[in-house]
Structure 1
């Protein structure tokens, strides 16, 4: 495949579905699709799937050969094949969006987010009445609606708690809320639940008006069926604001989940621990956690935000 070649629309979605071969392990299917259908670098794919770059490179090499040698072929006209591979495609699209969202100030990040939304809409169109496909579109649309307030005019990152909600795209929120409601009415899968969480954030008039107890309950359901590190960390954040748990209790729960402090989520985990520490009155501990987070973060805008938080905490 020439380096300059790119897939668009259904053709790109078809390639994702093609490489999500059922004879391969799930993680390998996702990695192949991210690397060769979406153009994500091996290092970034490895970070997303929480393995080392050499390990991922070796897996990709073996998987390409196995896929090449396989006699099974995929066709978009085969409805059974499309349905069986659709969950993998939705996961790939979600990871593609996550990659772009992690770089809030870069053009490449915005391009990946836009691509992911387009692919999610394509997936919903071919999926028909599928609550998870609808939930993914809802989730991405509701997240995109907040983008205009995510970075200030100086290019600095603005966290959700401080966002100017007047800048949010109300048309996208209306679309996302409708899709999220339909998704939850049709099922309680991973993306339907995530869309519900995004919807609760979207309807809150401000940070303090957020229904954190509802969000925590939705995260309980999400983690029960999809106990990924990112879901577990987000659940802890929600529980830190929910009634009856609080920052100190949530920090204890975070400390008990040691996996969160390793790999690609380590910077986020230390940043969350710092915020919980500040709210629990442990300023010194929070400053140590902020130093740890700053040492691990890659994006300059995120680093500057953490450095500002460190300064505000007296560090």
Structure 2
């Protein structure tokens, strides 16, 4: 049975720039204006969050665009309260578009008497009336199983492969994809296979969180242009240290492709002073002014992919089709010329 309503977008305050970009992209696809639902998401003087939706959403297919990035608690509460407001306003279906899923690194008990906060957050989201999740590059694949509602997990690697094949087209035979730790090998291998490059690993041993005792390169990177691939860059300590180790092992250049640029604390300064020539991140998290002003940080857009994924969910068609080059390349038309 065909859909009789149009998909409607609403955004919290976490990343309105991305939300507006998704709306613009959907307008291109639909051939009609797609805007953000008129609403206010504000705070009282005691910092309680208040949401008011000014448009009728009864019977509508609603998509809330809200990464749960820093400040994670505020942005998560905004998401939950927006969902509650929509549910009480008789929206037909509510999908949470969470480009960056906060608390994803707390996905298991690493020691005694610690929480599995990612599961707790999943429970809260489902209880708020959200019926489907659309996210990108979850820190751990098993988080999808924390939800009792459908989860569509997009991947940045197809976008990254297009970007690499465009910007490194004269060096394709000399590229080496690098995983910064053993846990990220599957992610790095998937990108390496897409571009036909070999894979190396930086094995690290931590004494305690935030500190790295030792790093060893597994694989020959001599004379190679190395591209480090990971899902999250927080304080950039591991990333910058890995770049130094790779240069010390004989690499000629080091670049990095990271999905979620958390970039907290000293991260921007470390990247500016690093031997790493460039860091490429997506816009899943709203970039700060400091990040935008850093010459060796570049941001690639995810709005074309999220806009198409939202339309596919609304239409009841495949979201996994966006994992293929053949499907993704037309979505990014004009952005990446043929190699």
Fold-level similarity (TM above 0.5): no
Which band: TM-score by shorter chain? Answer: 0.3 to 0.5
With CA pairs under 8 Å and 6+ residues apart, which has the higher RCO, 1 or 2?
Answer: 2
Larger helix share, 1 or 2: 1
Normalised to the residue count of structure 2, the TM-score between the two structures is 0.32
User: In proportion to residue count, which structure has more strand?
Assistant: 2
Please report the TM-score for the alignment, with normalisation by the length of structure 1: 0.33
